[in-house]
Amino acid sequence: MLIPISHTRGKRIMTTFDVYIAYVSWDSGGKRRPVLILEETADSVTAFNITTKYEDKSDAIRAGYFTINDWRQAGLERPSYIDTNKTVTLPITAVDKNPLGRLSAADELLLDRVCPKCVLIEGPADADGLLVHLSGEGVKPPVAILAYTAQLPIETVLNPFAEYSPEYQAVRWAVGRASVRFIDLPSGVLLSLNKWRPKADSGPTCAQDEKVRGF
């Protein structure tokens, strides 16, 4: 179930399922486009992109598109789709002050039904208890989950998360909306595997070198 949020920022009240115009950037540029608000924090917004492009997309991408039936109520000028394949995190300053509209109650219900009930993320299975902390407002990527042994020689396993990491964005979006779990090997297993990994070859010893040369 998607949990509505509502925050007041000055005279603006931003609510889950509101539709706003925002500047969405990517590596090679960016553009102003409608987005569906999911969550607002102190300085950023998590949202889905809204698009009118459908026919030129692959079947895999189309599978993640949600048709907005009541697109006029959402303040949109043309039939549009919500791209649920991934979320975008935007600075609050990139979002216009006034909403275009919001999803109708019927569209909200349908979107809630197609959203995942469980989200599985690559990471150590014994670190599920850290997911809620990883998604906290006070967390500023890059961050990492570090596992280590207590005895010498110390072995470590590091799971890093950057702002743009798909795993981090999935955690941010899913916590509070669905069941979230890590699905990789537990950190204890990964640590134990370290001793079985071949060590870097430092080259032949003097004795081995002499044997090869016939001494």
Asked whether the predicted pLDDT for residue 78 surpasses 70, the reply is yes
Confidence band for 9, pLDDT divided at 50, 70 and 90: very low
Spatial distance between the Cα atoms of 52 and 130, rounded to a whole number of angstroms: 38
Domain parsing of the chain, residue ranges = 6-114, 118-196
Spatial distance between the Cα atoms of 190 and 192, rounded to a whole number of angstroms: 5
Asked whether the predicted pLDDT for residue 82 surpasses 60, the reply is yes
For the ranges 17-31, 76-90, 164-178, 179-193, the lowest mean pLDDT is seen at 164-178
- CATH classification of 6-114, choosing from 2.160.20.10, 3.40.50.300, 2.40.10.480, 2.30.30.110? 2.30.30.110
Spatial distance between the Cα atoms of 53 and 74, rounded to a whole number of angstroms: 17
pLDDT for res 199: 62
Of 29-38, 55-64, 190-199, give the range with the top mean pLDDT: 29-38
In Å, how far are 12, 40, 194, 204 from 7, measured between CA atoms?
8, 7, 47, 66
Q: What is the DSSP letter of 28?
A: T
Spatial distance between the Cα atoms of 32 and 15, rounded to a whole number of angstroms: 20
